Amino acid sequence: ETGVTQSPTHLIKTRGQQVTLRCSSQSGHNTVSWYQQALGQGPQFIFQYYREEENGRGNFPPRFSGLQFPNYSSELNVNALELDDSALYLCASSLGGRGSEQFFGPGTRLTVL
Amino acid sequence: QQQVKQSPQSLIVQKGGISIINCAYENTAFDYFPWYQQFPGKGPALLIAIRPDVSEKKEGRFTISFNKSAKQFSLHIMDSQPGDSATYFCAAHAGNMLTFGGGTRLMVKP
């Protein structure tokens, strides 16, 4: 069984740029959720994708967007990067649109200068 | 109200001791309460979880106690080991999202 994988591991961008982060879900899982974890804080829910559709969104602006592909992998896109976007971005996979048991990947550390 | 409040923020325990971390919530729609363990530079790893129809769940050295009427739940780590030193997060599930507590940094001294 393959766990959740994310790429890249680290990324440095400048303010105003755009970034794309990638996630492959755990084998057999069809739902992907994205979380932002600022330093020293708990993860905050960005949104979830199920059957290639956005299936719920947290309190994040529209410049945070995503995609899910037929193989259940997912992308998180962030436009017009701000300094406060610097964080660890976590992807979690689960089974079913209301899947409560979520398994996290190692995350992508984004630094915005 | 979606908040989950976690305490303490940090905890130092001697090897072999019991580590206790507490969480409280307000939203009665929460239907699943997991605990995650996170090491520096890693993603959170699911440790143990409980549903609100159960008052206690034990897996090895880890036990969740759940008090539905008080809207509180706690993690007990028995016989704490230096390898348990990590940040622990409680979380609560409703709809399709997890709401996390602020985390507890646990240090187990040898």
A14 vs chain B: nearest CA distance in angstroms? 22
Size of interface A-B (CB pairs under 8 A): 65
Give Cα separations from B91 to A21, A44, A92 (angstroms): 24, 11, 14
Closest listed residue to residue A21, CA positions, set A83, A101, A97, A91: A91
A82 vs chain B: nearest CA distance in angstroms? 22
Give the burial class of B97: count Cβ atoms within 10 A of its Cβ; 0-12 exposed, 13-18 middle, 19 or more buried. buried
For residue A88, give the amino acid letter.
L
pLDDT confidence band for B95 (50 / 70 / 90): confident
Q: How confident is the model at residue B13, as a pLDDT?
A: 98
Residues of B with CB under 8 A from a CB of A: 6, 31-32, 34, 36, 41-46, 49, 89, 91, 93, 95-103
DSSP A84: G
Q: Nearest residue on chain A to B97, judged by CA atoms?
A: A45
- pLDDT for A80 beyond 90: yes
As a whole number, mean pLDDT of residues B36-63 equals 95
As a whole number, mean pLDDT of residues A72-90 equals 97
Cis peptide before A62 (omega within 30 of 0): no
Q: How many other C-beta atoms can be found within 10 angstroms of the C-beta atom of residue A41? A: 15
As a whole number, mean pLDDT of residues B58-65 equals 97
Residue identified by tokens 């990590």 is: B86
* Partner B contacted by A42 (CB < 8 A): yes
Q: How confident is the model at residue B2, as a pLDDT?
A: 60
Of B32, B43, B102, which is closest to A41 when you measure between CB atoms? B102
Structure tokens at A22: 């990638």
Structure tokens at A88: 């660890």
- pLDDT for B1 beyond 60: no
As a whole number, mean pLDDT of residues A30-49 equals 96
pLDDT tens string A2-20 = 799 999 999 999 999 999 9
- pLDDT for B77 beyond 60: yes
As a whole number, mean pLDDT of residues B13-19 equals 98
